[in-house]
Amino acid sequence: MRRRMILRPALLLLTAAALIAVSLLLLLRPAYPYSLLGYPALPIDGLKPRSVAAILDSGEEAKLVKLTSTGTEEWYGYKGKNEDKSKGKGSETSDSEALISHMKKQGWTYKEQNGAGYFFHNEEGGSRIVTSQQWTSRYVLYKVHPPS
């Protein structure tokens, strides 16, 4: 009987400690860079990682998908083919080829790539920079900056 009396406070203390730990994790979760599904934080304001992944998953693979426009900037996403990346082969259309093709349709000619930046120009002498970011192993994000 005396042993049960000693175990009850210890069990209550352990339960309280576990509840405090879970509460702290839930409070600190927004500062943690990954969502519950394991997606990293997005560099795009106003969109949630799960919704972007759902948009990219619902479209065709190896295709550029417009995610949002914020004033003069546009954000696009690209989902590569998993089996091609795991085997080390390039897909039929790579992410950079899809971007260059998309920009060509909008009247921009590819000039060069420097690091994560793609440089385009048009016939009027304008230029446009597109920066890329590998968001996850499956998704690449592109920020199309305003023309200059």
pLDDT tens string, the chain, 148 residues long: the values are 555 555 677 777 778 777 787 776 666 654 444 445 578 889 988 888 888 988 888 877 778 899 999 888 999 999 876 544 444 544 456 889 999 999 999 999 999 999 999 999 999 999 999 999 999 888 999 999 998 8
Distances (CA, A) of 18 to 10, 15, 22, 49, 61: 12, 5, 6, 29, 43
Instruction: Judge whether 139 and 56 are in contact, CB under 8 Å.
Output: yes
Predicted local confidence at residue 120, as pLDDT: 96
Predicted local confidence at residue 143, as pLDDT: 95
